[in-house]
Structure 1
Amino acid sequence: MPTLYECVHRGERHFGLDSPGATTLHLHPLGDLDLQATLLAADGDVPALTEALTRGREATPVPASDVRLRPPLLPDSVGDALVGGFMATHHAKVDAAENTMPNWFFKGLGDVLKVPGETLRVPSGAVALTEEAEVVLVYLTDPSGTPRYVGHTFGNDLTDIGRFKRNNGHLSYAKLCDAGISPWLFLDAPPRHVTGHVTIERDGGPVWQGAFTTGTKAILYDVPAMISGLFAYEALLAPGRVHYVYLGADRSSFHSGFSMEGGDRIEMRFGTHDVLLTNTVAAH
């Protein structure tokens, strides 16, 4: 299944359809192409989308190290992107569904999304930080105000879990940290099974390591019902808005008694999908 990504090369915007981990990327000039409109018009038909994207646009091979990748489909105006997600969704964290849908949280606008190599900002007064390896669903809101699924990627929902544990009414504050996100948009259905590994480094060496499992099979709730319940609220449905929906995480380093510090480097590898996120935490 191809992926779609956007990047900047020599000061110009491009897109490509290479797989994660490729050392050479084949870039097409973005020009006046409207990626959002093209995705909506394809309506999930990947061959038709590929044809529409590449018709008349020759690809130029360049080393992956020569480009600056962007969060997938990030609008030029960060206010047109809404980042949020669900908590306590996984079987590993809850024994039975007490409600028809889990709690949703707002994480920020488009500027909280950080691709690999960028810094994750956290408040200087954070109590106890933890990483959260998650599937991220991406929706484009069409001109009629209907959010339409266009693909998924993977992310790190960095959270001040210590603040939440100290006062569970403070979930909204605990989530207001930057979020890591992969630039690769997978153009297929949300994955059922994802496994991976996290390494946290401090002063140049590993200080915590652990595995994770996620994907829709690991989630206690019905994902389509979660999404339907979320998008029942008209306040979210402005045409043109891009939604990044984090689906919740398996156990994290916090559950092993570890707490991150400013300056720690998080390496999050989604092994089943060859996706690597690396970000450094910085308090401000």
Structure 2
Amino acid sequence: MTHYRVIQYLSDQGPSLAKVLSADEVMPLKKTLTTYDVALMAMESSVPLTFVIDSLLSEKTLSYQKLIEDGLVLSPLHHPDQAHTFVTGTGLTHLGSADTRASMHSKIQQDDSTLTDSMKMFKMGIEDGIATESRYASQPEWFYKGNGSIVQKPFGKMPSPSFAQDAGEEPEIVGAYINDSVGNPHRIGFAIGNEFSDHITERHNYLWLAHSKLRNCSFGPELLIGDIPQSLEGTSKILRDGDVIWEKPFVTGESNMSHNIRNLEHHHFKYSLFRHPGDVNIHFFGTSTLSFADSIKTIDGDVFEIEVPQFGRALSNRLVQESKNIDSVVVVDVMY
């Protein structure tokens, strides 16, 4: 099956969309338009996004690899004003491997009084996580990561703050959305994402989950426009000085999830805050595979690489640890 995929790159005139033809070539548009621009055109015309993109394509091609080498590949969707992008996510949504699934199922057979809060929430998803057009299911764990300023471009740096206790990858699928002029959310497509979190902070006390998620992230490089398979298999790896120090397969897609995407979307967009006209939402759907679970400690310069074949090129980012000497007390000025 051929998937329709696009990227954004920095042209001489600014950010612009290009259609992915292969792992080697992309086709730019006749004029400089972003994914956001073209999506709004499609909404206003009530036609499929792919139809509008195809009508705007030029006849020339660009080297995909050259764009990467020159540092010109951008995230595949952005709002022109970073403050109008919400980056959020959901957790405890994936069943994981067969072994993990069996383990979790055995644990949730216990009496509710003996379950941790996390296991109780996982059990809710197992028992009632599938929404339909007429009925929503139980709500999942939900978290806020930040606005558009935290999104790091593919193949670029992934800064970790000086106060972080951990800098760990989270390989996930991302849903990308734009609200139309009356506030109805439209799913533009899906992408590979690295949700990037501080797992030591989270492990210390689960009430610090919110703190652990306020980190940078990345998604792309390609945006897949259309439905994704029920089951997806990918690979997450960490490279150090060019050598792979950790590698593990992961599965995602609705057949590997306790909640379906419709349910996760409902419980995000039910809040009118996320439906302001014109705003962008980037939403991470969760994972079950982490290097942290295998006692991997990342260091400055490590490279995260996440690949799912249906999404084209792998998402890659280099960890940059901010210097501890900038970790000083933030003093708030007063105006009285």
Report the TM-score when normalising by structure 1. 0.90
Query: What's the CA shift string for 1:172-196, capped at 9, x where partnerless?
Result: 1111121121131111024422211
Change (3 A) 1:231 1:108: same
- Mapped partners of 2:319, 2:285: distance in 1: 22
User: Taking structure 1 as reference, are residues 29 and 50 closer, same or farther at Cα in structure 2, changes over 3 Å only?
Assistant: closer
Shift of 1:65: 3.6
**Amino acid across the alignment from 1:111:** S
Partner of 1:71: 75
> In structure 2, what is the equivalent of residue 48 of structure 1?
51
Give the Cα separation in 2 of the matches to 1:47 and 1:168.
42
Residue 328 of structure 2 corresponds to which residue in structure 1? Answer: none
Quote how far apart the aligned CAs of 1:128 are.
2.7
- Which residue identity is paired with 2:204? R
Matched-pair contact (CA < 8 Å) for 2:5–2:311: no
Contact 2:13-2:32 at 8 Å conserved across structures:
no
- 2-structure distance, mates of 1:144, 1:135: 27
Q: CA deviation at 1:88?
A: 1.4
The 1:30/1:165 distance shift into structure 2, 3 A limit, reads farther
Matches within 5 A, 1:1-284: 1-19=3-21, 22-31=23-32, 34-41=37-44, 45=48, 48-54=51-57, 58-67=58-67, 68-92=72-96, 95=105, 96-98=122-124, 100-284=138-322
Change (3 A) 1:222 1:61: closer
CA distance in 2, matches of 1:175, 1:44: 36
Question: Hey, what does 2:117 align to over in structure 1?
Answer: none
**1:84-141 CA distances to partner (integer Å, 9 max, x unpaired)?**
1101110127545326121111111112222322111112222233211111011111
Change (3 A) 1:47 1:142: closer
Q: Share of identical aligned residues, percent?
A: 21
Question: Deviation of residue 43 (structure 1)?
Answer: 5.2
Higher alpha-carbon deviation: 136-145 or 219-228:
219-228
SS of 1:17's equivalent in the other structure is strand
Shift of 1:241: 0.5
AA partner of residue 5 (structure 2)? T
Deviation of residue 50 (structure 1)?
A: 3.7
Question: For 2:20, what is the secondary structure of its paired residue?
Answer: coil
CA contact (8 A) 2:224 2:311 kept: no
Matched letter for residue 40 of structure 2: A
Would you say the 8 A contact 2:174–2:285 is kept in 1?
Answer: yes
Q: Choose 151-160 or 121-130, whichever is displaced more.
A: 121-130
Q: Does structure 2 retain, via aligned residues, the 8 Å contact 1:200–1:206?
A: yes
Q: Letter of the aligned partner of 2:314 in structure 1?
A: L
Unpaired runs of at least 5, structure 1: none
Distance in 2 between residues matched to 1:118 and 1:62, nearest whole Å: 20
Equivalences, count: 280
CA contact (8 A) 1:15 1:30 kept: no
More strand by share: 1
C-alpha deviation, 1:240, in angstroms: 0.6
Matches of 2:172 and 2:8 in 1, distance apart?
A: 21
Would you say the 8 A contact 1:129–1:254 is kept in 2? no
Q: Of Structure 1 and Structure 2, which has the larger fraction of its residues in helix?
A: 2
Instruction: Note the C-alpha offset of 1:79.
Output: 0.9
Shift of 1:160: 0.4
How far apart, CA to CA, are the structure 1 residues paired with 2:220 and 2:60?
A: 22
Counterparts of 1:78 and 1:47, CA distance in 2: 25
Moved more, 115-124 or 234-243: 115-124
SS at match of 1:60: coil
Once the two structures are superposed, residues 229-254 of structure 1 have per-residue CA deviations (whole angstroms, 9 ceiling, x without a partner) of: 21111112111101011000122111
**Change in 2 beyond 3 A, CA 1:87/1:47:** closer
TM-score, with length taken from structure 2: 0.77
Counterpart of 1:28, as a letter, is L
Task: Decide which structure has the larger Cα Rg and report it.
Answer: 2
